[in-house]
Structure 1
Amino acid sequence: MLVATYNAHRGRGARGAFRPERIARVIAEIGPDLIALQEAQHYLRPSREMLDEEWLEREAGLRPLQVTHRPGEQGWRSNIVLLRPDARVLRPPMGLRIGGMEPRGAILAELDLGWGPFRLLATHLSLGASRRRRQAEALLAAMASGAGGRLPTLLMGDFNEWRPGASALGLLEPVFGVPPRAPTFPAFHPFLSLDRIMGHPAGLVPGVEVHDTPLARMASDHLPLKARIDAALLAPR
């Protein structure tokens, strides 16, 4: 199972032009079974959809996971999860408020893409270290809630944190381990590992890879991060 996370920078490339079709083409390049997007809403019109859903389903084989069902809102607080149309949604997904001065949030979902059930937490953390730590506490609490606490868990998104052991990462590492270094920012010369794909139990995410192509360097200020999930750990026991 191929998953990815991508900060879409509100559809603006390195030169600031609003070109969301480039984001969609990068997603099609990756060809994931599931991708979590951050900053994925129209820059000037927040109530307007940024992504062409018909194009995505036709060219990338993906559709948005409906969270709020409000017109024009493809996700939650500019977080969007795209997944294959045949994916099973095991419980209604939730938009989580995780605090912070910026309108940050997370999407919590229980899914099965054909390999077995798992829990997804897709998020975008704040710029301040103390706020990121509180947000990580909220994510761990959400992970432990209900029957989903027993499910394998994928945590992915833009963490705005590049220092192992610091802030949010320090709190998450006892559960998810130390994420490998994979520089995704800035797209034109990446040296900061701001984007993460982490898994529980250990071994669920054997490794990650930056999707670095000419189109990806133009489409956003972040490069996408992708990972092959060990589907054997998702199989029902």
Structure 2
Amino acid sequence: MKLKVASYNIHKGVGLDRRRDPDRILTVLREIDADVIALQEADRRFGLREAVIPRAMLDDHSPWRVVEPGHYDRARTSSSMGWHGNALLVRRDIEVIDACAVPLPTLEPRGAVCASLRLAGHVVRVLGMHLDLSGLRRRQQIETICGHIEDHPERGHAVLMGDFNEWSPSGGALSAFADHLRVLAPGRSFPSRRPVAQLDRIVVSDGLHVDAAGVHHSPLAAVGSDHLPVWAELRLPGNEADCPA
């Protein structure tokens, strides 16, 4: 069973040309053609925090559906896509067992969204995030996320991805991830015109095989946001005996 995942900070749909163009973002997502996509800055910042990509556009013109995190308060309204700008999209034929919002320790509104998926008899827990600009806060947030994964009553595989805001290629707050989680480095993704930093990362548990990973470069992606999307092609074990305990 193969699974392609991707993460994309869409900058509220505003490209380098200063135009908000949800159709352009959706076209980039079609180019990537991932099974599960974590979006950051998927809602507008002020007002009703409306979704950058209208639900009708996703429903009518995409193979994905929005995972509902099921956490409502002033930071999330019925017109938004996720939780504090984080959203998860999954292909319609993938079973979503449950989903939730994960509050993160911070001085500004931050959060993460988590969904448990069932794929070929395996449970894969996917978590999308947008971490703090402060290194200390990032470390605390990663520890909170790892705790959320560890405390889940049903263990399974894990995929964590998003805009980590970590400029260090391998150290810094990344060292806070648990030992059984591998931090992938798909490549430089920020800024999109001439990327120099690996701010966007994908983290996987040891039970998942990584066939390939990279940064999606295309003419539309180069102007659609200030970040480029990152992706990874994963392979699940062939039988349940290979799953982590």
1:213 to 218, 229, 233: 218
Residue 207 (structure 1) shift? 3.5
Q: Distance in 2 between matches of 1:30 and 1:134?
A: 31
C-alpha offsets along residues 78-117 of structure 1, whole Å, 9 cap, x if unaligned?
A: 00101111221112x1111112122111112211244621
Structure 2 residue 224 is the aligned partner of structure 1 residue 222 = no
Residue in 2 that maps onto 1:187 = 192
- 3-state SS in 1 of match to 2:202: strand
Structure 2 residue 173 is the aligned partner of structure 1 residue 171 = no
Q: Distance in 2 between matches of 1:162 and 1:185?
A: 10
Q: Distance in 2 between matches of 1:117 and 1:77?
A: 25
- 3-state SS in 1 of match to 2:240: coil
More helix per residue: 1 or 2? 1
1:128 to 128, 134, 158: 134
| Aligned residue identity for 2:96 | V
Uncovered stretches (5+) of structure 1, i.e. residues with no partner:
none
Q: Distance in 2 between matches of 1:21 and 1:43?
A: 19
Structure 2 residue 205 is the aligned partner of structure 1 residue 200 = yes
Uncovered stretches (5+) of structure 2, i.e. residues with no partner:
none
- 3-state SS in 2 of match to 1:177: strand
108-117 or 78-87: which moved more? 108-117
| Aligned residue identity for 2:135 | A
Provide the alpha-carbon RMSD of the alignment: 1.9
Change (3 A) 1:219 1:115: farther
- 3-state SS in 1 of match to 2:180: helix
Structure 2 residue 91 is the aligned partner of structure 1 residue 84 = yes
Residue in 1 that maps onto 2:22 = 20
Q: Distance in 1 between matches of 2:226 and 2:186?
A: 18
**1:49-198 aligned within 5 A:** 49-68=51-70, 70-91=77-98, 93-114=99-120, 116-148=122-154, 150-172=155-177, 174-180=179-185, 182-198=187-203
Q: Give TM-score, length-normalised by structure 1.
A: 0.91
Q: Distance in 1 between matches of 2:45 and 2:192?
A: 19
Residue 65 (structure 1) shift? 0.5
More strand per residue: 1 or 2? 2
Q: Distance in 2 between matches of 1:203 and 1:86?
A: 21
**1:30-49 aligned within 5 A:** 30-49=32-51
- 3-state SS in 2 of match to 1:232: coil
178-187 or 200-209: which moved more? 200-209
Please tell me whether the aligned partners of residues 67 and 115 of structure 2 are also in contact (alpha carbons under 8 angstroms).
no
Q: Distance in 1 between matches of 2:26 and 2:165?
A: 23
Please tell me whether the aligned partners of residues 9 and 39 of structure 1 are also in contact (alpha carbons under 8 angstroms).
yes
Q: Give TM-score, length-normalised by structure 2.
A: 0.88
192-201 or 224-233: which moved more? 224-233
Q: Identity of aligned pairs, percent?
A: 34
| Aligned residue identity for 2:130 | H
How many residues are aligned here? 234
Change (3 A) 1:165 1:202: farther
